[in-house]
Chain A
Amino acid sequence: MKKKSKNKIIKVRNLTKSFDNNLILNNINLDLFEKESLAIIGKSGSGKSVLLKCIIGLLTPNKGSIKIDGREIVNSSSKDKEKILLDFGVTFQNGALFDSLSVWENIVFRTIKFKKLSKNDAKNLALSIILNLGLDKNILNLYPSELSGGMQKRVAIARAICDKPKILLFDEPTSGLDPITGSIIDDLIKNTVSRLGVTAITITHDMSSVFKFADRVILINNNQIEWVGEPKKMNNSKNQTIKNFLKNK
């Protein structure tokens, strides 16, 4: 296993989030080390996506603190939030590609805000990324509505990693993909973390993915982090939910 930094890049403290009277996350504490690959598992509706959205400040928790590289994101000014978000590459559960932009325009959307690139260079940059994701050259000029669900998902991943952010967040990157494409994505996450020294959080339902790329796993259940540990420790876990997850693998 690669060397892990002792530097905590994300610190979540006493995070509580509810919608109206519906408690979703209760008193969550979580540390993420630099260059670590964390997997989040949990039943549908357990609040995994909500946790992710809290971390990047898209949802405001009712209580608690979230520090990114020492900077507080909860209730911070929108200017500070914008700055913190530059460290992140995010893939939403449904892809969330911009309908009105072509594939390559989607992928380089943030990159060209900070780097002057000719149209050709930008397209080539997008191309180099999608080839690694098992996508075809021909899709560059298509629009998201012309892609299959799995292709959209991979374009969204391309968009998240295009300008090499420090922290990657993937919300179910392999759901809806065939096993072969899924394993391409797993490898990509693994390699990005190990080669580029990126920190990654991946929400997934796929236990084989977890074993492949995660350094650590957390299970969210009953509004809390019910289990934390290295993937291989799951096999001996007495936690019933973990057992069920492994059984249905």
Chain B
Amino acid sequence: MSIVVNIFSSIGKSTLFFFQSIGKIIYFFLLSVNWSFRRPFYFKQINKQILDIGFYSLPVVGLTTFFSGMVLALQTYSGFENFNNENTVAKIVLTSILRELGPVLAGLMVAGRVGAKMAAEIATMRVSNQIDALETLATRPIQYLIVPRFLASIMCVPILVLIGNIIGVFGGFVVASFKLDFSPTLYIVSTLNHINLMDIAQGLVKALIFGIIISIISCYFGYNANGGAEGVGRATTISVVTSSVLILTSTYFITAIFI
């Protein structure tokens, strides 16, 4: 009897905790949006984050999208006999990258690279009283720490995705012309023919939402960390896992809206 009660009570507790956390994260998001429009603006912090999130993520995003474009071309060609012509391969590579692979890969890479860093930095500041110190030094932690990361993320992730898209499509082109012996000109013409603004828009909407997810989730768990070095580790892990899961699930719902 008591075991049953215990099971139900612990299920109840974790459900409650889950919905509480969702509420708190949404509140944290609204808080960040609200403070984004208020003085003072910490431009130096924003620039630093843009450099960190945008510029230094380029190599990983470029590398992953490049290889994805290549493998996509190869798989399409070898997997579907009727599709092994320039037109179809170009179309499939382009569409998959613009709509899905570009944003999701860039999102996951940024979540792993930048999200982890954001969570760890902010959690460290929390457990070493630096956030308390900010408050005593006439600085709102949300404005000084969270807003710059939030703004930089929503600016940089879409740009990273655009660049990743181009690199990914180029990866497909490289395989098509050098490995599959397609006509490079024909492949390029086919690619250009299939460029669709709605596909690009879908990718960018995803990128924007991923940018929000990564920055808000990482900052939230960092900001609410406790318990020394272990707490920092916990915040980092849970940020990366949560952002990645949210990226992979939200992409489905955004796609469903677009189709």
**A residues bordering B, Cβ < 8 Å?**
53, 56, 58, 78, 82, 85-86, 88-90, 92-94, 96-99, 109-110, 113-114, 159
Contacts and interface: CB of A to CB of B under 8 A. Distances in A.
B153 to A, nearest CB: 18
Chain B interface, DSSP helix/strand/loop, else mixed: helix
Contacts, number: 47
Given A94-B128, A96-B128, A113 B138 contact: yes
A109 B130 CA distance: 13
A96 B133 contact: yes
Interface of B: 124-125, 128-130, 132-140
A96 B131 CA distance: 8
Contacts of A113: 137-139
A85 B135 contact: yes
B145 to A, nearest CB: 10
Give the most central of B128, B134, B140: most A CB within 10 Å: B128
Given A85-B136, A96-B129, A113-B139, 10 more contacts: A56-B136, A82-B138, A86-B138, A89-B136, A92-B129, A92-B133, A96-B128, A98-B134, A99-B124, A159-B137
Contacts of A159: 137
A109 B135 CA distance: 12
A98 B138 contact: no
13 contacts: A58-B132, A58-B135, A58-B136, A82-B138, A85-B135, A86-B138, A92-B129, A92-B133, A96-B132, A96-B133, A97-B130, A98-B125, A98-B133
A29 to B, nearest CB: 24
A110 B133 CA distance: 11
Contacts of B134: 98
Contacts of B129: 92-94, 96
A80 to B, nearest CB: 13
A245 B95 CA distance: 75
A159 B133 CA distance: 10
Contacts of B132: 53, 58, 92, 96
Nearest to A114: B138
A94 B134 CA distance: 14
Contacts of B133: 90, 92, 96-98
A90 B138 contact: no
Nearest to B144: A98
Give the most central of A97, A98, A109: most B CB within 10 Å: A98
Contacts of A53: 132
Nearest to B132: A58
Contacts of A99: 124-125, 130
Contacts of A89: 136
Nearest to A85: B136
Contacts of B125: 98-99
Nearest to B124: A99
A113 B128 CA distance: 23
Nearest to B133: A96
Contacts of A93: 129
Contacts of A86: 138
